Amino acid sequence: MENRATAILRRKSAMQSARSIYEQNWKDGYDYSFPERGDGFYGEKSDGGALQAKRARLFDSTATDAGQILAASIMTGGTPSNSRWLSLTTGQDNDEEARWLDNAAEVIWQNIHASNYDSEGIDACLDMVAAGWFVMFCDSLAEGGFNFQLLPMSSSYIAASKPNGPADILVHEYCLTAEQAVTKFGKDAVSEKIRKCCEEGGNPDEKFRFIWSIFPRVSAQAAGILAKNLPFTSTHVDCDSKTVVKESGFHECPFWAPRWSKLPGTVYPVGPMYRAMPDVKQLNRLVYLEDMNADIAISGMWIAEDDGVLNPRTVKIGPRKIIVANSVDSMKPLTSGANFNLSFSKKEGLQAAIRKILMADQLPPVDSPVRTATEFQLRVQQIRQVLGPVFGRMQPEWYGPMVVRCFGLAFRAGVLGQPPQSLANRSFNVEFKSPMAKSQKMEEVSSIESSLNSIGLIAQAKQDQSVWDVVDLDEAARQIIDGRGAPASITRSKENIAQLRDQRAQAQQQAVQQQQQHELAQKTVPIAMQQASK
């Protein structure tokens, strides 16, 4: 029977072969936008000089600039660090449950952005733009807090255990020095070759290849509390000795691999840069030719005749030089025939097409004047229509799995506090309050507010306030508060509202009774005085 290490190495080879047919698309996307991030495909390892050479082959930065704008929009629109973008709910929360879930969401959000997530996240968005996917892993630190790790795409291979499901299988190849391997896995777990490198006279900096695999366990095996029996198995394999050096597990899937646009029949996608690639390559070639002709136009091109005095082979052209010739016709400037107007027009068209495909032109510049609130609302609606489908895919493949993983880590660490007993054995849902999610909900808020304004006009025109009986104003107020992303802590429960209204009604009733008693007393005193005078 094949041992586990050999089976993992064989699976890695099969996944690597299946992925190879798509790698050129991703490599092109990196080479023409962020070449420093596309290192490692086809075994290519570039040093600083090679990376500079890659960057030097780019003659236009439109794709890079537009890609950075799109990446920043994805990051700030989905998981901004300056406002809470998630909430937790079971769908039918009572007051105690809602408060605990709201506090848990606040703690998770604070810890996510107190970690290295923001720095890893923007790099992940750059990978998403260039290649259409990335792989991010999350675990807890020994001293507390989350630790996010963006895995190099060139050495990460994914698969799905369920048809049309999210990627939940990962095989990642990485290198460690002998010293790092002993520190990570222990001296007894590594091979004899690695141990000798760490001994006196050895080379502790010699690098060795390892394979890290994460698979969901078969349901019948996913039981118990030991790491080797958890729902997801984690195995590290030494490629040279073909032995397992570490085996553990995870309570939930510890990584996520969101995809921009999945290709049919495969788990792998392409990104927006893939669709812009024809225009990007054409623009790069056009600017290259334009620079060549600009060199000729600036420096000049000449024709010279050997007239017995002028020697074209030795003549040097430059400022403050005297050229001796038999005739002024012996040397003349030549025009190149280049049409720069056509080049400029073509270049502007290609640049506009690239920015449109990468959605960098969907909103006017930030510094452009906004005339009215209606104009601003139209801008928000426009960007929502463009990026809405993107965030719709990111929620189940990125934000949701990340929140579930962070919730599990925080809950097991005890930082969320003791939950109410009523939440036992109940699942929760993640609701997103990111700027994009808020903008999508703002359409409902706008509809509610415009409807209330219209009803108010009708009531004023009819001079009949009974028309308001059509609307549940309490529910409308709740929908507006929720749509604007206000925290749940500012909203009173239905029971508190009923109690407050009862107290107000009683106070009003008491005030009416006191007023009636006062008026009755005022009427009674004069009558009593009249009777006394008689």
pLDDT band at 255 (very low <50, low <70, confident <90, very high): very high
pLDDT of res. 366: 44
Residue 319 DSSP SS3: coil
Which tokens is 482 given? 């929720």
| pLDDT exceeds 90 at position 387 | no
Would you place residue 485 in the very low, low, confident or very high pLDDT band (cuts 50, 70, 90)?
low
Residue 375 has pLDDT above 70, yes or no: no
Kindly give, in sequence order, each residue whose CB lies less than 8 Å from that of residue 27, ignoring residues fewer than 6 positions away: 38, 41, 42
Q: Write out the H or E segment, with its range, that includes residue 301.
A: strand 301-304
Residue ranges in 174-327 assigned as alpha helix (H): 178-185, 192-198, 272-299
* Closest C-alpha to 133, from 393, 383, 405, 361: 393
Comparing 244 with 422, the larger pLDDT belongs to 244
User: Mean of the pLDDT values across residues 31-58?
Assistant: 82
Pairing state between β 243-250 and 86-89: unpaired
Among 408, 419, 433, residue whose Cα is nearest residue 487: 433
Given a contact cutoff of 8 angstroms between Cβ atoms, the answer to whether 123 and 135 are in contact is no
> Does residue 367 carry a pLDDT above 50?
no
Q: Which secondary structure element, helix H or strand E, spans residue 144, and what is its range?
A: none
237 forms bridges with which residues in the sheet? 211, 244
Assess whether pLDDT exceeds 50 at residue 466: yes
What pLDDT does 1 receive? 41
pLDDT, tens digit (0-9, with 9 covering 90-100), for 54-97 = 888 899 999 999 999 999 888 888 898 888 889 898 888 787 88
In single-letter form, the type of residue at position 520 comes to L
Q: What pLDDT is attached to residue 33?
A: 94
Q: For the chain, how far is it from start to end, CA to CA, in angstroms? A: 124
Is residue 113 scored above 80 in pLDDT?
yes
More reliable by pLDDT, 285 or 316? 285
| In the predicted structure, residue 208 carries a pLDDT above the cut 90 | yes
Q: What pLDDT band is residue 220 in, cutting at 50, 70 and 90?
A: very low
The mean pLDDT value for 177-188 works out to 94
- As a whole-number percent, the residues of the chain with pLDDT over 70 amount to 88
What does pTM read for this prediction? Answer: 0.78
